[in-house]
Amino acid sequence: MDPWNSLKSLSSADVAHLQNQQLHAFITTHVYPFSPFYRRLFDQKGINPNDIKTIADLKRIPFVSKTDFINPNNPQQYRDFILQPDEKLIKQFWPKGKLIALLAKKIFNGSESVKDAMNREYRPIFMTFTTGTTNSPVPFVYSRHDIDNLNISGSRMVRLFDIAEDERIMNIFPFAPHLAFWQVFFGAVQANVFALSTGGGKVLGTEGNMTAMMRIKPSVILGVPSYIYHLIRFAQQKNHDLSFIKKIVLGAAKVTVAYKQKLADMLKEQGATDVKIFGTYGFTEARSAWAECPAQHHESSGYHLYPDKEIIEIIDPETGEVKGPGEDGEIVYTSLDARASVVLRYRTGDFVKGGVTYGECPFCKRVCMRLSSDISRLSDTKDLQLSKVKGTLVNLSHFGSVLNDMLEIEEWQIEIRKHNNDPFDVDEVIIYVTPRKDVNESTLLVAIKEKVVGSTEVSPNEIITIPLCDMIKRLELETANKEKRILDLRPKG
Ligand SMILES: [Zn+2]
């Protein structure tokens, strides 16, 4: 029985008590003894692991971020974050009670069984990578214990989405050593629900995915927003009856209200009249994902967190100060039950508006901590040389929110390039758009320019309309794991 069932009815004081106990045990029994990175860090900073007794004590532990995993002189740096127990360390660090229990197990069940249990708990057997577009990918490894946790988060999400045992799932996340595909794969296996994992557009092609969908008629479809949208548009062109679709679960990218509405409208036209659309949030370092529960398209329940598996802090990205409930800030992750790769106070670089809230969820009535779904990347800013005089920091996610929210736009792409292709000249911003059917192009172009200037203070050099087939190629919608929404063609370096 998954303890989340009982956890969801605990008060916030009970949750804090449980997290305090778990944090202390996790740090003293697993992290400090067996993590080369954290033992070194604690020793350098004079932190006694026994002094970390409550969530408030977390403040004493420095943050880590992606850069801590990357060292040009040591490509194996990520290994420092992997728990590496051996007999000597166990004897040195484990409390007497735990050592006696281990010894008793050895006496009664034999040393092989102790070895098996230790291997199951700690030995890395599985790996996923970060999908960094700027940094090199960082590997995160899982032990069997971590796979069990991946199963748990998967089955908790299946429960949140109210997926019944006799429903059929189609997993269209790109097949890759990335969290999303495997989270769904393991979650469905654990929940004992039929799932077809197609591998996405790159593996089966859009035609192939469509044929599979029409054959198995899944009630639940999971995938990346841009590709799901593309697939439903394809079904619309073929005039397929999609009335079997009841739920769509999206991951690996931000989902806006406008997107949910657009997708729901298209599905309705194809006969799927009452579709619930869910956003999810997860990242490689957590080796887990969280999800929304059923709500109307213009509302979001936020992502339901697992207080027995992690601590989510919200901090001021400038000062590092920890924020209170419901406050905006950067998402910081600490695992409470991880083995293999372990991070404490990991700065995600994701900024959330509305932070973490406590109490009963107004939609599913679970008493559960929830993370607001209004999340954007902090590092989406680019330095553009728009005039000869000085560079301007431009937040590219603002372009995305303007263009995504315009219902007249079918697809869009931003291209940043050098004027005349001259590396010493100014930068140019070009917007490519494919208008939706029956939209007046000249009115649309004026509206785009106005909205983009209003939101970003950048006046695009050109706005070009192109047909959908060309746009699909430009975005690499059918060929890449992640679409090329913003294309920076400036010379690197
Ligand atoms: Zn809920």
Q: What is the SS3 string spanning 387-450?
A: CCCCCEEEEHHHHHHHHHCCCCEEEEEEEEEEHHHCCCCCEEEEEEEEECCCCCHHHHHHHHHH
Q: Under a CB-based contact definition with an 8 Å cutoff, are residues 313 and 345 in contact?
A: yes
Centre of ligand 1 to C-alpha 361, Å, is: 5
Strands, DSSP E only, in 236-304? Answer: 247-250, 276-283, 288-291, 303-304
Centre of ligand 1 to C-alpha 98, Å, is: 38
Centre of ligand 1 to C-alpha 282, Å, is: 17
What is the DSSP track for 31-47? IHHH-HHHHHHHHHHT-
Closest by Cα among 374, 380, 444, 373 to 406: 444
| Distance from C-alpha of 107 to C-alpha of 303, rounded to nearest angstrom | 45
What amino acid is encoded at 175 in this protein? F
Q: What is the mean pLDDT of residues 126-130?
A: 92
Q: What is the mean pLDDT of residues 124-140?
A: 83
Q: At what angle do helices 225-237 and 201-216 cross, to 10 degrees?
A: 50
| Distance from C-alpha of 298 to C-alpha of 264, rounded to nearest angstrom | 11
What is the DSSP track for 181-247? HHHHHHHHHHHT-EEEE---HHHHHHHHHHHHHHHH--SEEEE-HHHHHHHHHHHHHTT---TT--E
**SS3 for 146?**
helix
pLDDT bucket at 8, cuts 50 / 70 / 90 = low
Q: Under a CB-based contact definition with an 8 Å cutoff, are residues 263 and 228 in contact?
A: yes
Residues 6+ apart with CB under 8 A from 407: 258, 261, 262, 436
The pLDDT score that the predictor gives to residue 146 is 97
Q: Under a CB-based contact definition with an 8 Å cutoff, are residues 492 and 463 in contact?
A: no
The model's pLDDT over 145-174, given as tens digits with 9 standing for 90+, comes to 999 999 999 989 998 999 998 999 999 999
**SS3 for 312?**
strand
Centre of ligand 1 to C-alpha 386, Å, is: 45
| Lowest-confidence segment of 85-99, 141-155, 232-246, 478-492 by average pLDDT | 478-492
The pLDDT score that the predictor gives to residue 300 is 93
Tokens of 107: 């006496």
The pLDDT score that the predictor gives to residue 112 is 86
Centre of ligand 1 to C-alpha 13, Å, is: 20
The model's pLDDT over 407-460, given as tens digits with 9 standing for 90+, comes to 899 999 999 998 888 888 888 999 999 999 889 999 999 999 999 888 888 889
The pLDDT score that the predictor gives to residue 55 is 95
| Distance from C-alpha of 296 to C-alpha of 28, rounded to nearest angstrom | 44
Centre of ligand 1 to C-alpha 363, Å, is: 5
User: Per-residue pLDDT for 197 more than 70?
Assistant: yes
* Cβ-based burial of 461 (10 A; exposed 0-12, middle 13-18, buried ≥19): middle
376-to-352, 379, 486 alpha-carbon distances in Å: 7, 9, 15
Centre of ligand 1 to C-alpha 163, Å, is: 14
User: Per-residue pLDDT for 253 more than 90?
Assistant: no
From first CA to last CA, the distance across the chain in angstroms is 54
Q: What is the mean pLDDT of residues 185-205?
A: 93
Residues, the chain, total? Answer: 493
pLDDT bucket at 9, cuts 50 / 70 / 90 = low
Centre of ligand 1 to C-alpha 293, Å, is: 5
Buried/exposed 349-377: b ≥16 CB within 10 Å, e otherwise: ebbbebbbeeeebebbebbbbbbbbebbe
Q: What is the mean pLDDT of residues 15-39?
A: 95
Centre of ligand 1 to C-alpha 164, Å, is: 17
Q: Under a CB-based contact definition with an 8 Å cutoff, are residues 413 and 484 in contact?
A: yes
Q: What is the mean pLDDT of residues 56-76?
A: 91
| Distance from C-alpha of 405 to C-alpha of 151, rounded to nearest angstrom | 35
The pLDDT score that the predictor gives to residue 45 is 96
Centre of ligand 1 to C-alpha 276, Å, is: 13
Centre of ligand 1 to C-alpha 160, Å, is: 7
pTM given for the model:
0.88
The secondary structure of 335-392, three-state, reads: ECCCCCECCCCEEEEEEEECCEECCECCCCCCECCEECCEEEECCCEEEECCCCCCCE
Centre of ligand 1 to C-alpha 284, Å, is: 24
**SS3 for 455?**
helix
**SS3 for 13?**
helix
Q: What is the mean pLDDT of residues 253-267?
A: 89
User: Per-residue pLDDT for 41 more than 90?
Assistant: yes
Q: Under a CB-based contact definition with an 8 Å cutoff, are residues 363 and 302 in contact?
A: no
The pLDDT score that the predictor gives to residue 20 is 96
What amino acid is encoded at 19 in this protein? Q
Question: What phi, psi does 332 have (nearest 5°)?
Answer: -120, 130
Centre of ligand 1 to C-alpha 209, Å, is: 31
Q: What is the mean pLDDT of residues 243-258?
A: 91
Higher per-residue confidence, 214 vs 130: 214
Q: What is the mean pLDDT of the chain?
A: 91
The pLDDT score that the predictor gives to residue 466 is 95
Centre of ligand 1 to C-alpha 5, Å, is: 13
Q: Under a CB-based contact definition with an 8 Å cutoff, are residues 18 and 308 in contact?
A: yes
